[in-house]
Amino acid sequence: MRLLMATPTGWRRDGNLPAELTSFVGRTRLLANLKRHLGESRLVTVTGIGGVGKSRTVLRLAHQVRGLYPDGVWFVDLARLQDAGMVRHTIASALGIADRSSRAESETLSEWVGDRDMLLIIDTCEHLVQGCAELVHELLEAAPRLKVLATSRQSLHLPYEQVVPVPPLQVPDDSPLADLFTSESVQLFASRASAVAPDFMLDERNIHAVAELCRRLDGIPLAIELAAVRLRALSVEQILGLLTDRFSLLAGAGRTALPRHQTLRAAIGWSHELCEPAERLLWARLSVFAGDFELDAARYVCSDDRLRSEDITDLVTGLVEKSILLIQSNHAGVRYKLIDTLAEYGEEWLEKLGQARLMRHKHLEYYLSLATRSEDAWSGPRQLYWFIRMRQEHDNVRLALEHALRTPGETLMALTLLSSLWFMWVCCGFVREGRLYLERALEANPGVSKERCKALWVLSYVRSAQGDSAGALEAAEACSTEAVRVGDSRAVILASKMQGTAALIQGDLQKASALLGVAIEFNTDNKELNPGLLPAIVELSLVLLAQGENQEAEPLLRDCLQVCRERGELWVSSYAQWAMALTKLSTGRADEALHSAREGLRIKRHFHDILGSLLSLETTARIFVALGRARTAALLLGALQHNWRTAGLPMLGAPFLAGDHDQCVKECQKALGEKVYLAAFEEGGRLDLDEASALALGDLEDSSF
Ligand SMILES: Nc1ncnc2c1ncn2[C@@H]1O[C@H](COP(=O)(O)OP(=O)(O)OP(=O)(O)O)[C@@H](O)[C@H]1O
Ligand SMILES: [Mg+2]
């Protein structure tokens, strides 16, 4: 199988910069200034009015300087985030931090950044200034080599902050004709104009009108872009005439110019008026999405008897042509995004129309139905597809959850949405987020219900994945009690599975064996292959292994792998392969064990399964010792120590895994001698998870270090 998405963040060192979608014009001085300030200061905040080019300039800069930061340039966009309490989490998630441990998130974040030599870009802070300032301060104190570059309409008010205002683009004054052509704003106009009207060329006939237009628009890039797209239907002179009329009306008698932010507002208002009524309505409705969205989502959420679903495709195309929507296409399909300032405008419009609540409800409904579909399909052949799809929709899911949690009458939908997405929290690296939301949603829905039962077993699963076995047990027991009260036998069985998992982590093998056995025996529901039956089988085999009953574990795992193969299930199969590697290793078949471990590890990389990868790497280190490749094992042990740090409790705190780890370290030290071992261990400590996995897979040879 070919990997269809870029390596997820958190596995890489080089950052997560988005591509530049349009050509960039001018700003040579500003960029040089910013570079200098970044050299001298640890926090640079780029300020300026909406649409002036803060985000775009910073993105350009980021691409130019990425080579200067060995640990990468990381980009976090907070534009559509509403909840100040989620700033920390959003940043951690953009950095791809494993998000496993149950420790305070600030600790994990600071520790992850640690001594990394990296640039963190936080785009759009103005609505969350306080939260951003606190976090940035904390991070800069904890991480001596970190630099932060923020964009915000207002500064963060930190004493050591270097504030760099972004002025509008140069506008032509009464300069000689030749200089008009090279003025930045004229260049931007020409560049966007030729994209919509391929015949358009700046020449001596139109240059004066273009220059005047840029002056009228105060050199604000967004305003210039909005005007330029009108060349599709109007001439430069016509655009200029219409805008001049409008501005002089707004400025009132006796005034010749508007303040800049009003210029932009007027340009947006003008652009808005030139849209068809249906396009205007769609523009307003699309503002309920968080960042980007797919066409199907727009069709469902925004349609009603005033906007027919079948017309939405054409309307979206119209908004793309008018530069209201950005279009982004990649291997996974085409997505659209409303430009930030224009989303704000749309949101105000939607409030005025009195449709905000309804649209948010439909947005929630859409993502709830998508989540249900993804859950139903999870155990099947399109697992990887759903993994990628739901990761793409993560921001929209968050927004839908936030809405549901704070809206009376919709909190139960939050619970259902969260529970359906159990695989996203547990399997795809977002355990901490899942826990946070589940705890909030359970609190908001205190009455006993089937929905609560499901959420409780998901919570138990999430906590066990953090190594918090006591918390996991508590949730599983609550699930069991409540499930009996509502007569939900399916939840009782799943509760038993989760209680068994917790017992396994706690090292209570007898209890684990009994509870997992019950879960397996009474599982009759095909739908519960995942998360009930198959993981229970893998876990039971681990129990058997820990009890020394390898002969029984192996056929169990073989059957499990067979079911996985038949169904196209990958995620559990990666765990089954790992358990199989342990079984084979324990019976002296190290070569075969390596094969199984690698099979599992390859799958885990696709799923961003950090916990699973670390567990597999632990086993691979042991296999390498058994194969006489102690140096590779020592490198892996170094990498493991380093990577467990942010991934939560090493070995989940499970005694049977910890014992194997200690044994491996001892054997490795013995084989290499203390000095050589330490050198290799230290060297391995510099490997990120992706590199460590490549080493384990044989894609990266020791000699390359
Ligand atoms: N130097 C430039 N060259 C080309 N395009 C630019 C330039 N500066 C800005 N733009 C374009 O102008 C538009 C507005 O810019 P941008 O989104 O960066 O503004 P902003 O200051 O971040 O606004 P906001 O406060 O709303 O976040 C974008 O479409 C951007 O691509
Ligand atoms: Mg911006």
Atom nearest to 56 CA in ligand 1 = 18
Residue 225 Cβ contacting ligand 1 at under 6 Å = yes
- As a whole number, the mean pLDDT across the chain is 88
The string of pLDDT tens digits covering residues 386-441 is 988 998 899 999 999 999 999 999 999 999 999 999 999 988 878 888 999 999 99
pLDDT at 585: 94
Confidence of residue 6 (pLDDT cuts 50, 70, 90): very low
CA distance 583 to 544: 10
pLDDT at 659: 83
What is the CB neighbour count within 10 angstroms for residue 307?
19
Alpha-carbon distances of 16 from 10, 291, 335, 340, 539, rounded to whole Å: 9, 17, 18, 20, 35
Comparing 250-259, 418-427, 445-454, 485-494, the range with the smallest average pLDDT is 250-259
Closest to 341 in 3D by CA, of 268, 263, 288, 266: 268
Q: Which of 189-198, 411-420, 523-532, 541-550 has the highest mean pLDDT?
A: 411-420
State the number of CA atoms in the 13 A half-sphere of 341 facing the CB: 27
Question: How far, in Å, from the CA of 292 to the mean position of ligand 1?
Answer: 17
Residue 72 Cβ contacting ligand 1 at under 6 Å = no
Comparing 14-23, 415-424, 458-467, the range with the smallest average pLDDT is 14-23
Token duo for residue 394:
């993560």
The string of pLDDT tens digits covering residues 360-375 is 999 999 999 999 999 9
Question: How far, in Å, from the CA of 404 to the mean position of ligand 2?
Answer: 27
pLDDT at 254: 45
Counting residues of the chain whose pLDDT is more than 70, the rounded percentage is 91
Query: Which residues touch 697 (CB under 8 Å, ≥6 apart)?
Result: 598, 601, 602
Average pLDDT over residues 479-496: 93
Pairing of strands 292-293, 73-77: unpaired
Residue 50 Cβ contacting ligand 1 at under 6 Å = yes
Please report, to the nearest 10 degrees, the dihedral formed by the alpha carbons of residues 506, 507, 509, 513 taken in order: 40
pLDDT at 606: 84
Return the biggest CA–CA distance within the chain. Answer: 93
Instruction: Tell me the pTM.
Output: 0.82
Query: Per this entry, what is the length of the chain?
Result: 705
pLDDT at 520: 87
Ligand nearest to the CA of 342: 1
Q: SS3 string of 158-186?
A: CCCCEEEECCCCCCCCCCCHHHHHHCHHH
pLDDT at 1: 28
Q: SS3 string of 357-392?
A: HHHHHHHHHHHHHHHHHHHHHCCCCCHHHHHHHHHH
pLDDT at 101: 57
CA distance 216 to 223: 10
Q: Which of 77-91, 365-379, 529-543 has the highest mean pLDDT?
A: 365-379
Ligand nearest to the CA of 75: 2
Closest to 11 in 3D by CA, of 471, 603, 693: 693
The string of pLDDT tens digits covering residues 339-356 is 878 888 999 999 999 999
Mutate which of 59, 166, 185, 222 to test ligand 1's pocket (most atoms within 8 Å of Cβ)?
222
Cis peptide before 8 (omega within 30 of 0): no
Q: Identify the burial level of 274 via C-beta atoms within 10 angstroms of its C-beta, where 0-12 means exposed, 13-18 middle and 19 or more buried.
A: middle
Query: Which residues touch 207 (CB under 8 Å, ≥6 apart)?
Result: 177, 180, 181, 186
Question: Residue for token digits 């908004």?
Answer: 319
Identify the residue whose C-alpha is closest to ligand 1 atom 18: 53
Q: Is 520 left (phi over 0), alpha (psi -120 to 50) or beta?
A: alpha
Per-residue pLDDT for 619 more than 90? yes
Token duo for residue 166:
């972004």
Ligand nearest to the CA of 20: 1
Mutate which of 56, 220, 345 to test ligand 1's pocket (most atoms within 8 Å of Cβ)?
56
Residue 323 Cβ contacting ligand 1 at under 6 Å = no
CA distance 633 to 680: 9
Residue 261 Cβ contacting ligand 1 at under 6 Å = no
Ligand nearest to the CA of 344: 1
CA triplet 342, 344, 350: central angle to 5 degrees?
105
- Residues pairing with 589 in the sheet: none
What is the CB neighbour count within 10 angstroms for residue 679?
15
pLDDT at 528: 63
Per-residue pLDDT for 221 more than 90? yes
Token duo for residue 609:
């399964």
Average pLDDT over residues 186-190: 95
Whether 334 contacts 328, CB under 8 Å: yes
Pairing of strands 119-123, 73-77: parallel
pLDDT at 88: 86
Please report, to the nearest 10 degrees, the dihedral formed by the alpha carbons of residues 632, 635, 640, 641 taken in order: 140
- Residues pairing with 150 in the sheet: 45, 122
Question: Residue for token digits 């926090």?
Answer: 43
Confidence of residue 9 (pLDDT cuts 50, 70, 90): very low
Identify the residue whose C-alpha is closest to ligand 1 atom 9: 53
Token duo for residue 6:
């870029």
Atom nearest to 340 CA in ligand 1 = 26
- Backbone φ and ψ for 336, nearest 5 degrees, come out as -120, 155
CA distance 10 to 71: 11
